[in-house]
Structure 1
Amino acid sequence: MLTLTENASAIVNEITSQPGVAETAGLRITAEPGPEPAFAISAANEAGPGDQVVEQSGATVYVESSAAELLDDKILDAAVDPTGKVEFALALQG
């Protein structure tokens, strides 16, 4: 199952704890069609049908079923660049 780094958990928490956002809000990762694996990340109020739910350190990430297969052995990391843009990265688990 996909795991999150401390940085990723903190950033997901910050994104999903904004005023007016549902308590069930999280980030949703979907697989993009194409020859190389690619993923899209968006805010979501709740899980979609068949989504895998990853909860870690208070952060919630919904992973579309087709993306979950590709991300099963991965770690999601995140950082904020100097302009304030959030960047996500994937690494293999231990």
Structure 2
Amino acid sequence: MTETAAEAVKSIVSRVPQAADGGVRIRDTGPEKGFEISVAPAPEPDDTVVTASGAQVYLDAGARDALDDRVLDAQLGEDGSVRFALADQA
């Protein structure tokens, strides 16, 4: 997870009071749909937790396997919007 992605995750999570100590959960919804991202107050029991700069990302088993060699990055818009992207690890 890049520093920009960590800041984006923290910004998104801070907007959801019931998930203030939580993170962003990425779930693999299959080859046709890709990944689903949501704010979660805590990881599910089988999630892998990735922490960077105080941000937490929870990966379900499918996402963990599919994203093992990838880096989560983000672009922050001036209007507060966030756009996530995946890049190859260097």
TM-score interval for Structure 1 and Structure 2 normalised by the shorter chain: 0.7 to 0.9
Paired residues in the alignment total: 90
Match of 2:53 among 48, 53, 57: 57
In terms of fraction of residues, the more helix-rich structure is 2
One-letter amino acid matched to 1:78: A
Task: Give the corresponding residue for 1:89.
Answer: 85
Task: Give the corresponding residue for 1:31.
Answer: 28
One-letter amino acid matched to 1:67: A
Match of 2:19 among 11, 19, 22: 22
- Aligned-pair distance for 1:82? 5.4
Q: Distance in 2 between matches of 1:12 and 1:54?
A: 12
Unaligned 5+ segments in structure 2 are: none
Task: Give the corresponding residue for 2:5.
Answer: 8
Match of 2:69 among 41, 65, 73: 73
Contact 2:71 2:88 in 1 (8 A): yes
Deviating above 6 A after TM superposition, structure 1's stretches of 4 or more consecutive aligned residues are: none
TM-score, length-normalised on structure 1?
Answer: 0.83
TM-score, length-normalised on structure 2?
Answer: 0.86
Q: CA distance change for structure 1 residues 42 and 22 in 2, over 3 Å: closer, same or farther?
A: closer
Q: Distance in 2 between matches of 1:58 and 1:83?
A: 23
RMSD: 1.9
Unaligned 5+ segments in structure 1 are: none
Instruction: Look up the SS of the partner of 1:8 in the other structure.
Output: helix
- Aligned-pair distance for 1:33? 1.8
